[in-house]
Structure 1
Amino acid sequence: MKASDLFVKALESEGVEYIFGIPGEENLDLLESLSNSSIKLILTRHEQAAGFMAATIGRLTGKVGVCMSTLGPGATNLVTAAAYAQLAGMPMLMVTGQKPIKSSKQGQFQIIDVVDMMHPITKYTRQISSGDSIPSRVREAFRLAAEEKPGATHLELPEDIAKEETDHQPLDESLARRPVAEGKSVARAVELLTKAKHPLVVIAAGANRKLTATQLSEFIDSLQIPFITTQMGKGVVDERHPLFLGNATLSSGDFLHRAIEKADVILNVGHDVVEKPPFFMEQGERQVIHVNFNSAAVDAVYFPQVEVIGDIANSIWQLNKGLKPQAHWDFTWFMKCRTATEEHIAEGCDAPEFPVRPQRLVADVREVMPDDGIIALDNGIYKIWFARNYKAHQPNTVLLDNALASMGAGLASAMAAKIVHPDRPVIAICGDGGFMMNSQELETAVRLKLDLIVLILTDKAYGMIKWKQEHMEFNDYGLDFANPCFVKYADSYGASGHLLESTEDLAPLIKKCHQQGGIHLIDVPVDYSENDRILNEELPKLSAEL
């Protein structure tokens, strides 16, 4: 068969259902092979969005998402998405085209060393130099993309190689089981937790993969140890749980940081150095147990005393079997911190002022979304409010990026979520800055006939940086812009545009859009004027007075 046919058969063998991207002339053989396959090509309007969508497929399914581009500028447009997947642990394969490598008559036109470019931001990057090597290259790219820690891989398929004839066949996936933690490390962790007076569980990014949610929920229910989450650990355990103390959104000064200071042993599950640390360690201050697929990356603020390395779900199961609730465990202070957090989050939830305040925005979105509804956050100051105030009821129902923290991913991520879960409500929540970075994908969403709501939170500025500029006492300079009329912008794509004119109308409008179906853009003017007062002044003062 033709090598491009073999490549597509190898993708089918790996269970690929979708491939996102923009083909170029160097991909034409691959494109024809895809047309005769079970894989659906989803044409996007920018390669970056294709990469964000493929990465989100990987995040939600645990299977490798696939995207494609041509050579040169198409490939360079995938770089941000590659870093997005690599840092956040999302399994993804990028397939890029290339000019003929055995003979070329076009010199260096559009040619850069894409493999070398991808090397620092992927787990595996190779040029396919022979049709016969396709089965092993594809299998290895998928194996490494999905293996802990998941991430990005890349294969370059040159135009002349794609045309080659080959009689090879795809390789089957090998049967593999993740290793489990060694008994002595589990025993030492059990000993530390048993002797502790104020143990605390921290649930981080690595715990938000595989089948850890059930084991962690059973662990917490059985032992009644309070827990906190990082931004990318949200939803692993239902955050309505009475032992949930809050989300480590802020670096310091929140009520949960008072709980962390009281803890003498922290069970840190799935810690990933790509996230801002939920706590900073000091020598002799407290014991930390690192539970993860891989050993700890030690730095100045993280140096655990015990490491339980292996499949996280199995490690938690082993710890649960070995532990019993202890009469000397004292969580009184933790519950005081929890009460203070709940009271503070409740403030402003019914604020009637317009433009909308962030607290009211979060409360209204939470009110209208069912337990399994998905919000996909772009990056901006609102991400802090949603991470801290919005309680996730199920895993992967709050899609945020606290690793690369790239703007422009919110809409694409929401589209991928809707493809994976067509029967679940999905809302993309974007600032006006981030939305405009990939707003052209509205056409893709309309063409795919998705049911999707996009909240555009408008303040006509790069608000996160503007907030920090103000807090750090710099002059107000260089961060303001103008917007198009988002209602007309939506209409021009065949979507439905809405301008919110009253805070009281927000929740009813979201409900109405869900019921109508189709693509809806809601322009939501937001008032961030109290960010500094609440987050940088009020919270540290209140938490210090506990």
Structure 2
Amino acid sequence: MPVRVYERVLHLFEAEGIDTIFGIPDPNFVHLFHLAEERGWNVVAPHHEASAGFMAEAVSRMTGKAAVCVGTLGPGLANLAPAMMCAKVENSPVVFLGGQRARITEQRVRRGRIQFVQQSGLLEPSVKYAASIEYADQTDEIIRQGLRKALTGTPGPVYIEYPAHVIQEELDVPPAAPPGTYRLVGQTAGPDAVARAADAVRAAERPILLVGHGVHTARAAAQVRALAELMACPVVQTSGGTSYIEGLEDRTFPYGFSPSAVEAVVGSDLCLAIGTELGEPVHYGRGRHWAENEANRTWILVEQDPEAIGVNRPVHIPLVGDLRAVVPQLTEALRGTPREPSPELAGWIERDAARLAELAASAPSGLSPVHPARLIVEATRAFPADGIMVRDGGATTIFGWTYSQARPHDVLWNQNFGHLGTGLPYAVGASVAQGRTRPVMLITGDSSFQFHIAELETAARLGLPLVCVVAVDYAWGLEVGVYKRTFGQGSRETGVHWSRETRLDRVAEGFGCHGEYVERDEDIAPAIKRAYASGRPGVVHVAVDPKANSEEMPSYAEFRTWYAEGMQ
């Protein structure tokens, strides 16, 4: 039977396993939203299109699939721009659909047109592919090309535009075909390369696994765990790959922040890198901690984009393909010849556990306002075992790298782009992606939290099991620290402070959420537990020491090596 264009769009997305859409429906998309809800989709309308884009990105990260977001023509697409840029830098395959006036509008030689701008040219630099469906019978080819571009090679966002005169036209088309009929799915590496990699692993005395962001966004933790168990080696996390793989928690060490990770890297004679671009936060795999033993180390890189091979450093054995397919290939090649555990592994595990215990013990306590290190310790100790962790903020995230006592299996944060304000939308999107059942904890600073604070209403409307722990110093804490380091103590700090009358717990209550106000560290965990028990999204406003937040950021010197000191 004939179908409308908007119905065909849903069919094409459903063939990819997509069942969630975010956005504020404009007149172009009300029919699509209405039908999506009828078909059982998750249809979420937040309060800002940028939030919608961040929510969609979170769904992509939590499902390993493309995600969909809609923006109304003109101002809605302008609001989506930051989410597009983040998805591009974070390598997230989000399909952004945009409304537009009927195409004849572009050809009018007139001024003063309402809610109109030529959108595609403005957005093209922020996406992998931009297209407009000018005729109804282009729908299949352009939607499929968008999905092909979003999911092939290095993943990323695409933009597809619908002029108003197209979306309700009729099509007479067959049922939507599965993905394997129009794009490469489950690409494997060549058997010769896999055999070489397996031989190199067997020959290595001190191998390491370097695990990045892509392992978790591909939802490939189980496959990587099977490989890690055969290799019996330490797992080194990149700063973007901070989710812990279940069963490997004790031997997973954060690069640069754990002495065990540094020792494992320096002494390694083989590095198998999975799901990472080998970028600045790991010093391109050739500087800093890698330099000392560079001549004796073999590199194996699992990478979907062949153009990425050898860009940041030479790679001895590239395994080009989808890591979800390649990692099982390598596991199978190693089956029957498991390695003995690396000789130092037990000691690294013991020392890393002692490091975390020492950090928990040494974080200043008994202070009011709370020291930000103690906030992280107490909040992460109260983190639910099956929870999703979301991070946001500058100083707050830096304290979190060092002092976190939790080893969550799902962590979301905007690591590559560093865009503040993504935390609350990420938390909403992650919860929607997981069926609104798993507890979510957002740990954020007050500056970041206020970017999209209106999405507390969205969380309340959806009944999400979300607790936001907010470190409140009434300032841009990281920037205050920059002022102090640049101009000295006591200098004027312009544009980085605001009213101490703002009570975020009361703001939360106004949105229908549970609110808690905390000034002492011993009250943090009980407040978090009460928030979860309330049955509503919760906000725990924790007053933190502004001086400590701006001057005592831990591991800051390590953080600066990512982009300073000759690394450019």
TM class, shorter-chain normalised? Answer: 0.7 to 0.9
CA distance in structure 2 between the partners assigned to 1:137 and 1:425 by the alignment: 38
| 1:437 CA drift (Å) | 0.8
Aligned 8 A contact 2:372 2:548 in 1: no
Is the 2:475–2:497 Cα contact (8 Å) retained in structure 1? yes
Aligned match for 1:178, one of 186, 198, 201:
186
Counterparts in 2 of 1:354 and 1:240: CA distance versus 1, 3 Å:
farther
Are 1:135 and 2:146 counterparts?
A: no
Residue of structure 2 in register with 1:377 after alignment = 391
Aligned with 1:232: secondary structure?
coil
User: 1:87-135: CA deviations, max 9, x gaps?
Assistant: 2232211111001003576755433332223322222221010111112
Partner SS state of residue 362, structure 2: coil
| Whole-angstrom distance in 2 between the partners of 1:507 and 1:536 | 27
Query: Contact 1:471 / 1:532 at 8 angstroms: preserved in 2?
Result: no
Residue 210 of structure 2 is aligned to residue 202 of structure 1: yes
Is contact 1:288-1:304 (8 Å) kept?
A: yes
- 1:270 maps onto 2:275 in alignment: yes
| 2:286 corresponds to which of 280, 286, 307 | 280
Alignment match, 1:259 = 264
Kindly indicate whether residue 536 of structure 2 is the aligned counterpart of residue 529 of structure 1.
Answer: no
TM-score, length-scaled by structure 1: 0.87
| Alignment CA distance shift 1:538-1:25 (3 Å) | closer
1:12-23 to structure 2, matched below 5 A, reads 12-23=14-25
Q: SS where residue 233 of structure 2 aligns? A: coil
Q: Runs ≥4 in structure 1, deviation > 6 angstroms?
A: 537-540
Given that residues 376 and 429 in structure 1 are in contact (C-alpha distance below 8 angstroms), is that contact kept between their aligned partners in structure 2? yes
Task: Tell me the distance in 2 between the aligned counterparts of 1:46 and 1:338.
Answer: 42
Question: Residue 424 of structure 2 contacts residue 442 of structure 2 at CA under 8 Å; is this kept in 1?
Answer: yes
Q: Is the Cα–Cα contact under 8 Å of residues 457 and 524 in structure 1 kept in the other structure?
A: yes
- Long gaps (5+) in structure 2: 561-568
- Answer whether contact 1:433 1:462 (CA < 8 A) is retained: yes
| Structure 1: runs of 5+ lacking an equivalent | 541-546
2:538 equivalent among 499, 504, 520: 520
Q: Partner of 1:260: helix, strand, or coil?
A: helix
Residue 488, structure 1, aligned to residue 533, structure 2: no
Corresponding residue of 2:524: 506
Task: Give yes or no for the alignment of 1:363 onto 2:363.
Answer: no
CA distance in 2, matches of 1:456, 1:293: 37
CA contact (8 A) 1:18 1:41 kept: yes
Q: Counterpart of 2:555 in 1: which secondary structure?
A: helix
Q: C-alpha deviations, 1:326-374, integer Å up to 9, x for none?
A: 5995558755863663454334357332322333222322322232111
Q: TM-score scaled by structure 2?
A: 0.84
2:457 to 429, 443, 448: 443
Q: 1:2 to 1:462 in 2, by over 3 A?
A: same
- For 1:520 and 1:417, the matched residues in 2 are separated by 16
Displacement of 1:392 in angstroms is 5.6
* Paired amino acid for 2:217: R
Partners of 1:452 and 1:326 in 2: CA distance: 42
Between Structure 1 and Structure 2, how many residues are aligned? Answer: 536
- Residue 414 of structure 1 corresponds to 427
In the TM superposition, 1:53-132 aligns within 5 A as 53-102=55-104, 108-132=113-137
Partner of 2:161: 156
Letter aligned with residue 140 of structure 2: P
| Percent pairwise identity | 25
Cα distance per residue 1:199-237 (max 9 Å; x no partner): 222111122233532232233333321121112222342
Corresponding residue of 1:544: none
Shift of 1:324: 3.8
What residue identity is the alignment partner of 1:517?
A: G
Judge conservation of contact 2:68–2:94 (CA < 8 Å) in 1: yes
1:190 CA drift (Å)? 3.5
Deviation at 1:274, TM superposition (A): 5.7
CA distances 1:433-482 after superposition (whole Å, capped 9, x unpaired)? 11111111122222223332112211122222333444466656335222
Q: Distance in 2 between matches of 1:329 and 1:416?
A: 42
* Alignment match, 2:255: 248
> Does structure 2 conserve the Cα–Cα contact (< 8 Å) formed by 1:131 and 1:161?
yes
Higher mean displacement: 146-155 or 39-48: 146-155
Cross-structure match for 2:563: none
Structure 1 residues 297 and 331, CA gap change in structure 2 (3 angstroms): same
CA deviation string 1:400-447 (max 9, x = no partner): 121212111111111112222322111222211111111111222222
Root-mean-square deviation (CA), in Å? Answer: 3.2
Q: Is the 8 A contact 1:135 1:169 kept in 2?
A: no
